[in-house]
Structure 1
Amino acid sequence: MSSLPPTSADAPVPPDQFPGFVDRVFAHLQRADQRRWGHAYLLGLLTTPGKKTVRRLAAAVTDSPTASQSLQQFVNSSPWEWEPVRHEVARWAEERLRPRAWTIATTVLPKRGDHSCGVHRRFVPRLGQTVNCQVGVGLFLSDGGSAVSVDWRLHLPARWMLPHLRQQVRIPDDIRPQPVWSDAFDMVDRLRRHAGVTPLPLVADLRDGRRAGDLVRLLARQRNDFVVAVSADFPVLPLNAAGRAPYSPTAPGIRHGLPSAGVVRAGSVVGGCLRGTHLNAGAPADLVHLTAAATPGVRERRVYRLFTDRRRPSVVWITNMVRHRAAELSSLVGCWTGTADAVRDLRQDFGLLDFEGRSYPGWHHYMTLVAAAHAYRTLLGSPPRSPARELEPVPA
Structure 2
Amino acid sequence: MVVDEGWRLDLERWLEPFLTGLSHPARRRMCPLYIAGLIGPGDRKSVQPMAARSGDVGYDQLHHFVAAGVWDSVPLEAALLKEADRLVGDPAGFLVIDDTALPKKGQHSVGVAPQYASSLGKTSNCQSLVSVTLASREVPVMIGLRLFLPESWTGNAERMTRARVPLDRQKALTKPEIGIEEIDRVIASGVRFGCVLADAGYGSSGPFRQALSERGLLWAVGLSRRQNVYPADIGLVFPVAAKGRRRQYHMPDRPPVSAEAMLSGEKWRKISWRRGIKGRLTCLFAARRVRIAEGHKHRMLDNRMQCMPGDEVWLVGERRSTGEQKYYVSNLPVDATLKALAAAIKARWICEQAHQQLKEELGLDHFEGRSWTGLHRHALMTMIAYAFLQSRRLTAAGRKKKSRGPAATAEHAGHQAGDPQPLRPATATALPSL
User: TM-score normalized by structure 2?
Assistant: 0.75
What SS is found at the alignment partner of 1:131? Answer: strand
What amino acid maps onto 1:71 in structure 2? L
What SS is found at the alignment partner of 1:317? Answer: strand
Q: 1:210 to 1:230 in 2, by over 3 A?
A: closer
Q: 1:210 to 1:94 in 2, by over 3 A?
A: closer
- 1:77 positional shift: 0.7
What SS is found at the alignment partner of 2:95? Answer: strand
What SS is found at the alignment partner of 1:219? Answer: helix
* Equivalent position of 1:180 in the other structure: 175
* Equivalent position of 1:197 in the other structure: 191
Higher strand proportion (structure 1 or 2): 2
What SS is found at the alignment partner of 2:105? Answer: coil
- 1:141 positional shift: 0.8
The percent identity for this pair of structures is 22
CA distance in 2, matches of 1:89, 1:223: 24
- The structure 2 residue matched to 1:327, chosen from 339, 343, 365, is 339
Unaligned runs of 5+ in 2: 238-251, 273-282, 298-304, 394-422, 429-434
Higher RCO, 1 or 2 (CA under 8 Å, sep at least 6)? 1
What amino acid maps onto 2:230 in structure 1? L
CA distance in 2, matches of 1:362, 1:370: 12
What number of residue pairs does the alignment pair up?
A: 360
Contact 1:138 1:152 in 2 (8 A): yes
- The structure 2 residue matched to 1:87, chosen from 68, 78, 82, is 78
- Does residue 44 (structure 1) correspond to residue 23 (structure 2)? The answer is no
User: TM-score normalized by structure 1?
Assistant: 0.82
Q: 1:128 to 1:380 in 2, by over 3 A?
A: closer
- 1:226 positional shift: 0.5
Q: 1:157 to 1:78 in 2, by over 3 A?
A: same
Q: 1:217 to 1:173 in 2, by over 3 A?
A: same
Residues 77-132 of structure 1 show CA distances to partners (whole Å, capped at 9, x for unaligned) of 11323233223212212212245101122111110110001011124476565421
Q: 1:171 to 1:310 in 2, by over 3 A?
A: same
- 1:334 positional shift: 3.0
CA distance in 2, matches of 1:374, 1:87: 15
- Does residue 307 (structure 1) correspond to residue 307 (structure 2)? The answer is no
* Equivalent position of 1:78 in the other structure: 69
* Equivalent position of 1:355 in the other structure: 367
What amino acid maps onto 1:291 in structure 2? A
CA distance in 2, matches of 1:343, 1:135: 12
Contact 2:285 2:317 in 1 (8 A): no
- 1:213 positional shift: 1.5
**Stretch deviating more after TM superposition (109-118 or 282-291):** 282-291
CA distance in 1, matches of 2:316, 2:81: 30
**Stretch deviating more after TM superposition (10-19 or 77-86):** 10-19
CA distance in 1, matches of 2:161, 2:184: 28
What SS is found at the alignment partner of 1:134? Answer: strand
CA distance in 2, matches of 1:278, 1:13: 47
CA distance in 2, matches of 1:346, 1:10: 24
Contact 1:48 1:56 in 2 (8 A): no
CA distance in 2, matches of 1:369, 1:239: 47
- 1:239 positional shift: 1.5
Q: What aligned pairs does 1:58-77 form with structure 2 within 5 A after superposition? A: 58-64=51-57, 67-77=58-68
Q: CA RMSD in A?
A: 2.9
Contact 1:140 1:151 in 2 (8 A): yes
CA distance in 1, matches of 2:338, 2:72: 42
What SS is found at the alignment partner of 2:115? Answer: strand
- The structure 1 residue matched to 2:328, chosen from 295, 313, 317, is 317
Q: 1:98 to 1:189 in 2, by over 3 A?
A: closer
Contact 2:8 2:36 in 1 (8 A): no
What SS is found at the alignment partner of 1:261? Answer: coil
- 1:292 positional shift: 3.8
Unaligned runs of 5+ in 1: 1-7, 245-258, 387-396
Contact 1:96 1:379 in 2 (8 A): yes
Contact 1:119 1:132 in 2 (8 A): yes
What amino acid maps onto 2:315 in structure 1? L
CA distance in 1, matches of 2:89, 2:294: 37
Q: 1:84 to 1:288 in 2, by over 3 A?
A: farther
* Equivalent position of 2:277 in the other structure: none
- The structure 2 residue matched to 1:285, chosen from 279, 287, 300, is 287
